[in-house]
């Protein structure tokens, strides 16, 4: 029996030897990371520098872009190192640090999307009261709460998992995953499983319930309102719905490939399914939310072509 104090590193077995192709993969992943960093940083700078964009909707977008940077930085530099390495190992502490970063990113993504849907609900359903309900102080408070809450919510499973007794150190993925480590445990994981279900409910059920409530009310107003109201709702809510569906499908792919036996599925497809939620969302959100908005697009063009 190998306990957690004796496991000093984990082996990531999903990597395969691609020979010289690893340099091509390295350049491809690096290009994606550079594109994600540049697009998200550009939008954060534009929102922060322009006081006219210091409105609730843009502040929530800024928080979303910061989270994309956070999640991407927790994954891409690690992937780049592993692609060029001949021995795909990660230290015990680095593995759990990555787990915390990626889980916090997922949690914050759902919370951010929930806050954005609630903001659109107030703007469309209560336009006259919007400025008094969604003040700068309230937005700051909400963002502080969801960032702190997401960090705490994801810290607990990391602590529980790191104290487990392990009977192995091989993870069949290209990055560290809490569920994969739990499968290596040879000690009681009841507490970890119970908290996992509890945390999943808070991470997914609560934000999704708030999103559904917000959009049900928005749809009700749209059906009863004018054509102008419907057009405003569609233009402001469509990118949010697309982002939510994209991230939800990505998380669904990750759950499927982690929880079920997929040995008959080619390794490249399994790797793609496990990475989809961590790569496509940070890549698409700047274009769905930021560059799709005229106010931000104009300011981005002015900043780039000074």
Q: In sequence order, which residues have a C-beta less than 8 Å from that of residue 290 and are 6 or more positions away?
A: 39, 43, 46, 61, 65, 296, 297, 300
Give the model's confidence band at 264: pLDDT under 50 very low, under 70 low, under 90 confident, else very high. confident
Residue 129 has pLDDT above 60, yes or no: yes
Cβ neighbours of 286 (radius 10 Å): 25
- Beta strand pairing call for 170-171 and 89-91: unpaired
Q: What is the DSSP string of the chain?
A: ---TTT--EEEETT----TTHHHHHHHHHHHHHHHHHHHHHHHHHHHHH-GGG-SHHHHHHHHHHHHHHHHHHHHHHHHHHHHH-SS-EEEHHHHHHHHHHHHHHHHHHHHHHHHHHHHHHHHHH-TTTHHHHS-HHHHHHHHHHHHHHHHHHHHHHHHHHHTS-BS--EESSSS--HHHHHTTB-S--HHHHHHHHHHHIIIIIHHHHHHHHHHHHHHHHHHHS-HHHHHHHHHHHHHHHHHHHHHHHHHHHHHHHHHS--TTS-HHHHHHHHHHHHHHHHHHHIIIIITTSHHHHHHHHHHHT-
Among residues of the chain, what percentage have pLDDT more than 70? 95
Residue 124 has pLDDT above 90, yes or no: no
Give the model's confidence band at 291: pLDDT under 50 very low, under 70 low, under 90 confident, else very high. low
How far, in Å, CA of 111 to CA of 143, rounded?
9
In this prediction, residue 218 carries a pLDDT of: 84
| 266 or 32: which leads in pLDDT | 32
CB-based contact 199:208 (threshold 8 Å): no
Q: In sequence order, which residues have a C-beta less than 8 Å from that of residue 26 and are 6 or more positions away?
A: 80, 83, 84
Q: Which domains does the chain have, with CATH numbers?
A: 9-304 (1.20.1070.10)
Residue 4 has pLDDT above 70, yes or no: no
In this prediction, residue 236 carries a pLDDT of: 72
Count of positions (residues) in the chain: 306
Residue 37 has pLDDT above 70, yes or no: yes
- What integer is the mean pLDDT of 217-233? 75
Among residues of the chain, what percentage have pLDDT more than 90? 31
In this prediction, residue 108 carries a pLDDT of: 94
Phi, psi of 6, rounded to the nearest 5 degrees: -95, -15
In this prediction, residue 148 carries a pLDDT of: 93
Phi, psi of 155, rounded to the nearest 5 degrees: -75, -35
| Both structure tokens of 294 | 């005229």
Residue 305 has pLDDT above 70, yes or no: no
Give the model's confidence band at 19: pLDDT under 50 very low, under 70 low, under 90 confident, else very high. confident
In this prediction, residue 26 carries a pLDDT of: 93
Q: In sequence order, which residues have a C-beta less than 8 Å from that of residue 25 and are 6 or more positions away?
A: 18, 83
Q: Which of 78-92, 223-237, 250-264 has the lowest mean pLDDT?
A: 223-237
In this prediction, residue 267 carries a pLDDT of: 79
Give the model's confidence band at 1: pLDDT under 50 very low, under 70 low, under 90 confident, else very high. very low
Q: Which of 29-33, 94-98, 137-141, 300-304 has the lowest mean pLDDT?
A: 300-304
Residue 168 has pLDDT above 60, yes or no: yes
Would you give the distance in Å from CA 25 to the centre of its chain?
A: 23
- What integer is the mean pLDDT of 271-278? 87
In this prediction, residue 292 carries a pLDDT of: 67
- What integer is the mean pLDDT of 153-175? 87
Give the model's confidence band at 79: pLDDT under 50 very low, under 70 low, under 90 confident, else very high. very high
Q: What is the pLDDT of residues 144-163, one digit of tens each?
A: 999 999 999 889 888 888 88
Q: Which of 77-86, 132-141, 186-195, 274-283 has the lowest mean pLDDT?
A: 186-195
Phi, psi of 171, rounded to the nearest 5 degrees: -110, 125
In this prediction, residue 115 carries a pLDDT of: 93
- What integer is the mean pLDDT of 130-152? 91
pTM above 0.95, yes or no: no
Name the strands in the sheet holding 9-12, side by side, starting at the edge strand that comes first in the sequence: 89-91, 9-12, 170-171
As a dihedral over the C-alpha atoms of residue 276, residue 277, residue 280, residue 281, rounded to 10 degrees, the angle is 180
In this prediction, residue 2 carries a pLDDT of: 44
């Amino acid at each position: 029996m190998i306990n957690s104090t004796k496991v000093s590193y984990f082996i990531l077995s999903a990597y395969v030897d691609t020979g010289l192709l690893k340099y091509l993969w390295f350049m491809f992943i690096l290009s994606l990371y550079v594109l994600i960093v540049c697009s998200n940083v550009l939008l954060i700078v534009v929102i922060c520098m322009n006081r006219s964009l210091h409105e609730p909707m843009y502040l929530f977008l800024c928080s979303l872009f910061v989270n994309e940077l956070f999640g991407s930085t927790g994954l891409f530099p690690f992937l780049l190192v592993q692609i060029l390495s001949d021995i795909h190992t990660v230290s015990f502490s680095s593995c759990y640090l990555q787990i915390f970063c990626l889980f916090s990113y997922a949690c914050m993504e759902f919370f951010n999307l929930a806050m954005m849907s609630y903001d659109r609900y107030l703007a469309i359903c209560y336009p006259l009261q919007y400025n008094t309900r969604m003040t700068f102080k309230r937005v700051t408070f909400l963002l502080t709460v969801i960032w702190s809450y997401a960090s705490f919510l994801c810290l607990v499973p990391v602590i529980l998992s790191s104290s487990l007794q392990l009977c192995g150190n091989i993870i069949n993925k290209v990055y560290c995953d809490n569920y994969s480590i739990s499968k290596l445990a040879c000690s009681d994981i009841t507490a970890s499983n119970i908290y996992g279900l509890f945390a999943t409910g808070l991470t997914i059920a609560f934000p999704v319930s708030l999103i559904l409530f917000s959009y049900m009310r928005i749809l009700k107003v749209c059906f009863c309102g004018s054509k102008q109201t419907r057009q405003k709702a569609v233009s402001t809510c469509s990118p949010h719905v697309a982002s939510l569906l994209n991230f939800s499908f990505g998380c669904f792919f990750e759950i499927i490939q982690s929880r079920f036996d997929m040995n008959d599925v080619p390794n490249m497809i399994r790797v793609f399914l496990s990475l989809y939620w961590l790569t496509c969302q940070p890549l698409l959100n700047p274009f769905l939310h930021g560059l799709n908005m005229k106010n931000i697009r104009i300011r981005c063009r002015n900043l780039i072509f000074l």
